[in-house]
Amino acid sequence: MTKTVNSGILCIVVLLFTLTASAQSNAKKITINGDLEIIQLTPNVYQHISYAEFQGIGRFASNGMILTDGDKAFLFDTPPTELLTKQLVEWVTQTMKFKVVGFVPNHWHIDCMGGLGYLQSIGVESYANHMTINIAKAKNLPVPAHGFKDSLILNPGKHEIFCFYPGAGHSMDNIVAWIPSEKVLFAGCMVKEINAKGLGNTADGDLTTYPQTIEKVLQKFPDAKIVIPGHGPAGGIELIRHTKELLMK
């Protein structure tokens, strides 16, 4: 009897993972140009993918998120350059017909807020962890306009945005953004894609607190159906568990 029950549970887990993977692989991908792609994950959430050259790494893909709400759009992370950010915004406004009204970076690195200067030049409001703002000032980077300490709730329309700082990990200031109506978590670089073999760049983070940070995210967002990492394909909550396993190694 125990073997039958355990087998049944295993089948359900495998089925859920297969459905999540299938949903991601079947998601509609739109190519804007050779350096920009969009994947629609839910009726209101899109993953934007940008390709740029990074010193010492080469050509590399970075993720961000777009939330659409009525006739508005909210960005989470920009592409690494102002040109790519301009191209992304123009596509959102001209092709999708949404006005970009807000922006939240996951942390201070260039693959999160390299296009903030452009967004500010067209009047887009920006919100960030106070630590991100302080680091940006210290490094003479464009500075987000509005700060928060532990959490922030934004309501650009019908879809609530919950920004949460779980602690240091990939960087000292990394946050996550949760869209409860869509069950989508933009986790950024603190969470790794399912095929990642390592933690990537942790030079600006804290490996001591990283495990506790990931555990907080896992405990706070158990209902996440789609998790978007900073790099690589989106997945489900298994991406957070996979990152936790990498940290245990």
Give catalytic status of residue 112 as yes or no.
no
Catalytic position from the list 33, 150, 201, 223: 201
The full length of the chain comes to: 249
Give catalytic status of residue 146 as yes or no.
no
Spacing of C-alpha 186 from chain mean position: 3
Catalytic position from the list 106, 112, 173, 189: 189
What is the residue whose two structure tokens read 């003479």? 140
Spacing of C-alpha 86 from chain mean position: 19
Give catalytic status of residue 107 as yes or no.
yes
Catalytic position from the list 35, 44, 107, 242: 107
Give catalytic status of residue 111 as yes or no.
yes
19 token code pair: 């459905």
Catalytic position from the list 69, 77, 109, 129: 109
Catalytic position from the list 170, 173, 174, 242: 170
3-state secondary structure of 57: coil
Sign, CA dihedral 40-159-190-117, equals positive
CA distances from 1 to 9, 12, 14, 20 (A): 13, 17, 20, 29
Under a CB-based contact definition with an 8 Å cutoff, are residues 120 and 100 in contact?
no
Q: What are the φ/ψ torsions at residue 179 (nearest 5 degrees)? A: -110, 95
CB atoms within 10 A of CB 133: 22
Q: Is 58 exposed, middle or buried (0-12, 13-18, 19+ CB in 10 A)?
A: exposed
Give catalytic status of residue 140 as yes or no.
no
Give catalytic status of residue 130 as yes or no.
no
Catalytic position from the list 48, 159, 192, 242: 192
In sequence order, the 6+-apart residues with CB closer than 8 A to the CB of 154 are: 74, 102, 104, 127, 160, 161, 163
Catalytic position from the list 63, 111, 159, 242: 111
Under a CB-based contact definition with an 8 Å cutoff, are residues 186 and 216 in contact?
no
**H or E stretch including 91?**
helix 82-94
Catalytic residue IDs? 107, 109, 111, 170, 189, 192, 201, 231
